[in-house]
Structure 1
Amino acid sequence: MARGMLIVESRPSSEDRRDEFDEWYVEVHMPEVLALDGFVSARRFRPLDGDGPYVSVYDMEGDDIGAIAKSMFAHARNGGFQMSDAMQFDPPPAMRVMELTTDLARAV
């Protein structure tokens, strides 16, 4: 079984809508993505200095990581997600799909 991840960089549409953006992302958007076949977990990061995008990492598992990603993008194009104008769309969020090649852990 292949493993991979979808990495998304996004920002609130304005500073005064940051709380609304955060709530929508965690309460609505991440659960919608995790409901799709092949998505198994999600994490979200914020910049320590407050400058820069939030980064969300969605872990994927399945026979074909590319097919999982294509299915999610098709779902988005067909209006399958409840989007919020509290997220900046100009420029749009940056997305990248990666497939795992190596997995090492530090010996304890």
Structure 2
Amino acid sequence: MWFDHDVVCDNTPGELRLQTYPTSPVVSMLLSRRSWFVCWKTGDPPPGGNNFYYYTQGDVIVDRPGAKGWGYLPGHLLHVDGHPAPGVPKCRWA
């Protein structure tokens, strides 16, 4: 898979999930507080969150090594003015 650009945003570190729902397997951890995101899609909101999720590659792989750390960060962990985050395209497969 390839992406034509990314957007860097401030964020709260957290778990990246394989799919866009709160019980999806955690594939990696995002440790940084400023990260790049290549696209977004909607899903089931986690407790206290919204239904936006942002796709990126995590810093530490914890499961499913074939995914190479790629997963979805819940949108409420991005520090942006609104969703979808400005400049971040919708995932082509969404």
TM over 0.5: no
Structure with the bigger RCO (C-alpha within 8 Å, sep 6+) is 1
Point out the structure with the larger strand share.
Answer: 2
Instruction: Please report the TM-score for the alignment, with normalisation by the length of structure 2.
Output: 0.29
Give the structure with the larger helix fraction.
Answer: 1
Scaled by the length of structure 1, what TM-score is found? 0.26
